[in-house]
């Protein structure tokens, strides 16, 4: 199934450029050629093409998702329209060139107003140019222009192999797909929010704050007053807070989150009725499934308690804190994230009686081991 950009009118003009490719992901080299085509024509149709199991799909970027990212990337460009071709029902290349070319022509035509416009297709592959010139209508309407790929030496292959090394080349909308996500969890009062800030600022990375604390302060509600509807808002609010950092222009490939839906679920398991938890389960399953966390750092309740004033555990009840910690570990295991979990249990030495520096250094080591980013040498 193919669909055009629903947010835009079809392109008008007598000269139309067409830029096509896998675009998994789109990078600044693609952008440069698209903008060149836009400058030389009245409008440009950008087409991502692919099939189930292609190189984009293999990294979680199926063609439909690439289409949505591209449409978002060019949403403020009135002369650039985005579409896609799903190749699942046509023969694989190289035997499918005829069917693919026919579909390309149909895709271009449904995105333009003038059916007789001069159409220039831009490609960086010499063999693509040869195939297209052989198969396109021989009526003078179509021509193929070969791009100079040596101007900017970047490739989607290199990006897929090492996204962080090539981060500056990835289109900003596509960066969210490659961002590495670290979540810090733990019982209240363990210092996780402080650790989140310090880890993020060590790497100049964006970080989220705990939404529950913000929600409770704005609503002037304490932990023991939270009900089902409050937790529903907290689940969505934390997810939105984390998503904003992933989509932030400050995203440098690493994002740090202060809790997530699994933490909230551990709370509701302890404080809400089984009936309320049953009502929340679908929301938890969907939200946690969307998060795709790369690393979970858990601070155990052995850390000194930091009184925050609005928590169930404000009296530093170790048994309750331990029960929450155990419930959190069960939740992490239930959703299959236990292999991505590191418990920050390193003990401080000398002046580090609270172990804060020890856990900070352990967190840096975990990020290097599990994600491959050495924050100690940034």
Mean pLDDT of the chain: 91
pLDDT band at 4 (very low <50, low <70, confident <90, very high): low
Q: Please check whether residue 172 lies inside any domain of the structure.
A: no
Q: Are residues 267 and 305 in the same domain?
A: yes
Q: Are residues 153 and 208 in the same domain?
A: no
pLDDT of residue 307: 60
Buried b (16+ CB within 10 A) or exposed e, 296-326: bbbbbbebebeeeebbbbeeeeeebbebbbe
Do residues 218 and 333 both lie within one domain? yes
Split at pLDDT 50, 70, 90, the class of 357 is very high
Residues 251 and 322 reside in one and the same domain: yes
Residues above pLDDT 70, as percent of the chain: 93
Of the residues 126, 160, 194, the one at which a domain ends: 160
Do 116 and 185 share a domain, yes or no?
no
pLDDT confidence bin for 209, thresholds 50/70/90: very high
Instruction: Let me know whether 231 and 289 are in one domain.
Output: yes
Q: Are residues 240 and 348 in the same domain?
A: yes
Structure tokens at 281: 């389960």
Confidence of residue 314 (pLDDT cuts 50, 70, 90): very low
pLDDT, tens only, 229-265: 999 999 999 999 999 999 999 999 999 999 999 999 9
What kind and span of H or E run contains 101?
helix 97-109
State yes or no: pLDDT of 45 exceeds 50. Answer: yes
Neighbouring C-beta atoms of residue 286, cutoff 10 Å: 12
Tell me, yes or no, if the pTM score tops 0.85.
yes
CB neighbours of 377 closer than 8 A, spacing ≥ 6? none
In a domain, 167, yes or no: no
For residues 354 and 266, state if they share a domain.
Answer: yes
CB 169 within 8 A of CB 159: yes
Task: Say what angle helices 274-291 and 228-246 make with each other, to 10 degrees.
Answer: 10
Residue numbers of the domain that contains 77: 15-160
- Residue 319, pLDDT > 90, answer no
Determine if residue 191 is left, alpha or beta; phi over 0 gives left, psi from -120 to 50 gives alpha, anything else beta.
left
Sign of the dihedral defined by the CA atoms of residues 159, 160, 165, 168, in that order: positive
Tell whether 46 and 130 lie within a shared domain.
Answer: yes
Q: Look up the CATH number of the domain holding residue 291.
A: 3.40.50.300
Query: For residues 332 and 337, what is the distance between their CA atoms, to the nearest angstrom?
Result: 5
Q: Please indicate, yes or no, if residue 248 is contained in any of the structural domains.
A: yes
**Do 110 and 217 lie in a common domain?**
no
Residue 5 included in any domain: no
Assess if residue 250 is contained within a domain: yes
Same domain for 217 and 96: no
Could you tell me if 152 and 201 lie in one domain? no
Among the candidates 128, 160, 192, a domain finishes at 160
What is the pLDDT at residue 48?
Answer: 97
Total tally of structural domains belonging to the chain: 2
CB 36 within 8 A of CB 181: no
CATH number, domain with residue 129: 3.40.50.620
Q: What is the pLDDT of residue 151?
A: 65
């Amino acid at each position: 199934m193919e669909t055009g950009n629903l947010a835009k009118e079809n392109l008008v003009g007598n000269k139309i450029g067409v830029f096509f490719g896998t675009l998994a992901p789109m990078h600044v080299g693609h952008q440069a050629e698209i903008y060149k085509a836009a400058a030389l024509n009245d409008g440009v149709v950008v087409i991502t093409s692919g099939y189930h199991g292609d190189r984009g799909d293999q990294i979680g970027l199926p063609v439909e998702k690439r289409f949505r990212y591209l449409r978002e990337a060019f949403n403020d460009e009135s002369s650039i329209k985005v579409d896609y071709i799903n190749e699942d029902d046509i023969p694989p290349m190289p035997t499918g060139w005829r069917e693919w070319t026919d579909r390309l022509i149909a895709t271009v035509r449904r995105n333009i107003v003038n059916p007789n416009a001069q159409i220039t297709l831009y490609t960086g592959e010499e063999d693509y140019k040869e195939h297209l010139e052989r198969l396109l209508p021989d009526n003078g309407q179509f021509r193929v222009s070969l791009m100079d790929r040596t101007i900017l030496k970047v490739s989607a292959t290199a990006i897929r192999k090492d996204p962080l090394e090539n981060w500056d080349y990835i289109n900003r909308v596509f960066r969210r797909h490659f961002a590495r996500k670290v979540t810090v969890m733990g019982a209240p009062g363990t210092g996780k929010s402080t650790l989140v800030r310090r880890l993020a600022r060590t790497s100049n990375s964006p970080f989220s704050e705990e939404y529950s604390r913000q929600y409770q302060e704005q609503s002037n509600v304490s932990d023991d007053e939270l009900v089902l509807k409050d937790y529903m808002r907290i689940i969505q609010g934390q997810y939105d807070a984390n998503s904003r950092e992933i989509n932030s222009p400050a995203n440098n490939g690493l994002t740090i989150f202060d809790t997530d839906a699994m933490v909230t679920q551990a709370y509701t398991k302890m404080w809400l009725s089984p009936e309320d938890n049953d009502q929340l389960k679908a929301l938890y399953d969907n939200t946690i499934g969307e998060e795709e966390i790369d690393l979970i750092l858990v601070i155990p309740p052995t850390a000194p308690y930091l009184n925050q004033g609005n928590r169930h555990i404000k009296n530093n009840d170790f048994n309750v804190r331990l029960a929450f910690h155990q419930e959190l570990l069960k939740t992490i295991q239930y959703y299959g994230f236990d292999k991505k979990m590191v418990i920050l249990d390193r003990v401080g030495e000398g002046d580090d009686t609270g172990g804060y520096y020890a856990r900070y250094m352990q967190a840096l080591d975990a990020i290097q081991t599990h994600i491959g980013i050495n924050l100690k040498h940034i």
